[in-house]
Structure 1
Amino acid sequence: MRITGVRVVAATVLAALTLAMGACADDGGDAGTGSGSGDTANADGTIKEGLKIAFLPKQVNNPYFETSDNKGGKVAVEEFKGTYSQTGPSEASPSAQVSYINTLSQQQTDVIVVSANDKDAICGALTEAKTAGAKIVTYDSDTNPQCRDVFVNQATADGIAKSQIKLISDAVGPDGGEIAILSATANATNQNAWIEMMKTELAKPEYAKLKLVDTVYGDDQDEKSFQEAQGLLAKHPNLKGIISPTTVGVAAAARYLSGSSYKGKVQLTGLGTPNQMRAFVKDGTVKAFALWNPADLGYLAAYAGGALASGIITGKEGDKFKAGKLGEYTVGANGEVVLGDPFTFEASNIDQFDF
């Protein structure tokens, strides 16, 4: 989606970046039932004061989650007079989040908002936390649906996949060529869903000249992502483009390309923030990239958690709740709440954003 004009962009980034601007599709659960309890929702209720809401990102000190949690989730929790906290591992590994979930449960946390490093690895701990009384909201990257109450999805996997393939196709040009994907961790639910749908998108006739030759994983670590980008070019000398649907990966790949002989010859797109990608857009390393507003994602996740803990929603399809400045949202199938569509950043609009 492209938007031009300051007023239109500003409106849409609160309504499409807000709904739009970042690490999901799920693959289980009964369609249309979500994973909420059998309790009846009270759509006219208000969020209780004093709720303890903890954010558990894939990894702390990651700029993406610093924004989503501390500039989004915290703001929302303070608005409805709850108690906010953030905790989590320093590395994004599949099992690293389990001990934090157990601790939060023991602390009688009302809502655990978690971005899963693996859809299965933390399910046992989350189920125990639910049994102990916590409401579970996943955001950015989902677990199996039965392990949580609601999943706040930054955008549909299909929308992200279409956006990424269109951007790399436009950047590479009509002659096409070999492309590769630089992902986060091999077990990240959202990354894997996006990659599978990118492959489906690439099978369409309009992308017949693009050939996906490799997928590598930087584990959301800057140096490893840098090295993986370097390795792709060494392994595939005819590579024409790289897609990195992770904020850490796309910035690291841009840094490598910008200082190499491949600058301007190998195209790069992905999911990044304006502040981390601005210099690379201006120096010609990157033509365009996409994202949603991570602060809005965390903000929405906090309100979804508050609504769950207050009985306003149960996580079933059709439940409605108000999310502060973002307005009203409706829970969809499998307990999914979608923030919106990806937003495209490029030279013509990137200076209008500061995050």
Structure 2
Amino acid sequence: MFPHTPARRRAAATAAACALAVALAGCSGTTKDSVEKSSGGAQGSNAKADPDAPLKKNLKVAFLPKQINNPYEKIVDEAGIEAAKEYGGTGKEVGPSDASASSQVSYINTLIQQRQDAILIAANDPNAVCGPLKQAMKRDIKVVAYDSDTAKDCRQLFINQASSEEIGRSLVRNLGKQIGYRGEIAILSATQNATNQNAWIAFMKDELNKPQYKDMKLVKVAYGDDADQKSFQQTQGLLQAYPDLKGIISPTTVGIAAAARYLSDSSYRGKVVLNGLGTPNQMRKYVKDGTVEQFSLWDPKKLGYLGSYAAAALASGQITGAEGEKFTAGKLGEYTIGKDGEVILGPPTVFSKDNIDDFDF
């Protein structure tokens, strides 16, 4: 046994400390991976915001959509990547081809290894991505959820398209008017775990409890998993199972386009009302041929643009994610962070034959 001299004890202590830290950063100096400033999620961290700090140059931001081939999220992400160029940063989009709960995890791990300054994620599942996102925040990588939120302690900000309550209730109000507040209705959603879809559906169900909807009955919530063919088949299944169905709400751009395609070539066209969330370019032909009277959405380009600037403000220290903090999102102007780190883009737009040709996205 070797004697425990002071020098040997110091050497042993140093070796132990290095071994403990090696999984995080090694013992070769301070890097982004060695910084242990966990943000603590939407409530911000011990760090102080400096609203006068300039946006850092050469920031690296990565967009991780629900699935890489989702046309709506492609619009969002490309707008965010273009916004990064405005503030002197670089952006990219990576992601899975399917929208399963855990499909985004490996991409988060890779982005951590690449030392991105910010990860922007539209979560397929609010909890499945939390472990790696928390690891990202421990390494001082900022995390911004957009479109579909994570659990609140797994990101600093959530960029919401519009108030979840307003989206859910307005879709029911719009459909109610169209079917005279009477008859069976169904909802065609995306995935069962999608945070945004479930929040909207909860408000739809609550709205339906009001007296004016007493003659309307929600018979089914179907899930097309944001896949075109499955959403098409789910629409067909709904109409076969419920021949007296009067209306369908599809709060997903993939779902509403697939449902419209089915209805347009079926005997149900003009008999079953379809409403929901879609893009003008996807839905234009169905509005003009009478399959769909109206649908709603916000401008996805603005959503991506806002998300990109919010990530840059976080990475530059202008904000921490705390309620009441303000930041400027380029040409969109100033935004204020709300409760639980939520930033709301603005109210949705209702599209119909009267205005659909005014939009191109």
Residue 119 of structure 2: aligned partner: 112
1:240 aligns with 2:246: yes
Residue 194 of structure 1: aligned partner: 200
Residue 80 of structure 1: aligned partner: 87
1:100 aligns with 2:107: yes
Work out which of the residue numbers 275, 288, 300 in structure 1 matches 2:281.
275
Give aligned pairs, total: 321
Work out which of the residue numbers 321, 333, 339 in structure 2 matches 1:333.
339
CA distance in 1 between partners of 2:114 and 2:42 (Å): 26
Work out which of the residue numbers 262, 266, 286 in structure 1 matches 2:268.
262
1:302 aligns with 2:303: no
Following superposition, the deviation at residue 34 of structure 1 comes to 3.1
Following superposition, the deviation at residue 74 of structure 1 comes to 1.1
Within a 5 Å distance, the mapping from 1:44-55 to structure 2 comes to: 44-55=52-63
Work out which of the residue numbers 136, 144, 147 in structure 2 matches 1:137.
144
Residue 218 of structure 2: aligned partner: 212
Which amino acid in structure 2 is aligned with residue 68 of structure 1? V
Following superposition, the deviation at residue 125 of structure 1 comes to 0.7
Which amino acid in structure 2 is aligned with residue 286 of structure 1? V
Residue 330 of structure 2: aligned partner: 324
For the residue of structure 2 that corresponds to 1:50, the secondary structure is coil
For the residue of structure 1 that corresponds to 2:295, the secondary structure is strand
Residue 162 of structure 2: aligned partner: 155
1:344 aligns with 2:357: no
Partner deviation per Cα, 1:213-269 (whole Å, 9 max, x = no partner): 000000000000000000000000100000000000000000000000000000000
CA distance in 1 between partners of 2:214 and 2:50 (Å): 50
User: Which is higher, the Rg of structure 1 or of structure 2?
Assistant: 2
Q: Contact (CA 8 Å) 1:108, 1:133: kept in 2 or not?
A: no
Within a 5 Å distance, the mapping from 1:175-190 to structure 2 comes to: 176-190=182-196
Which amino acid in structure 1 is aligned with residue 259 of structure 2? A
- Taking structure 1 as the reference length, the TM-score comes to 0.89
1:66 aligns with 2:61: no
Q: Contact (CA 8 Å) 1:35, 1:334: kept in 2 or not?
A: yes
Residue 38 of structure 1: aligned partner: 46
**Cα RMSD after superposing both structures:** 0.9
Q: Structure 2 stretches of 5 or more lacking a match?
A: 1-40
CA distance in 2 between partners of 1:92 and 1:219 (Å): 7
Residue 250 of structure 1: aligned partner: 256
Q: Contact (CA 8 Å) 2:208, 2:216: kept in 1 or not?
A: yes
Following superposition, the deviation at residue 61 of structure 1 comes to 1.6
Residue 25 of structure 2: aligned partner: none
Q: Contact (CA 8 Å) 2:42, 2:155: kept in 1 or not?
A: no
CA distance in 2 between partners of 1:84 and 1:157 (Å): 28
Runs of 4 or more above 2 Å deviation:
none
Which amino acid in structure 2 is aligned with residue 349 of structure 1? N
Residue 11 of structure 2: aligned partner: none
Residue 65 of structure 2: aligned partner: 57
CA distance in 2 between partners of 1:209 and 1:47 (Å): 54
Following superposition, the deviation at residue 35 of structure 1 comes to 2.9
CA distance in 1 between partners of 2:288 and 2:54 (Å): 46
Q: Contact (CA 8 Å) 1:111, 1:309: kept in 2 or not?
A: yes
- Taking structure 2 as the reference length, the TM-score comes to 0.88
Which amino acid in structure 2 is aligned with residue 95 of structure 1? S
Partner deviation per Cα, 1:267-305 (whole Å, 9 max, x = no partner): 000100000001101111111100011111111000000
CA distance in 1 between partners of 2:98 and 2:268 (Å): 30
Following superposition, the deviation at residue 173 of structure 1 comes to 2.2
Identity %: 60
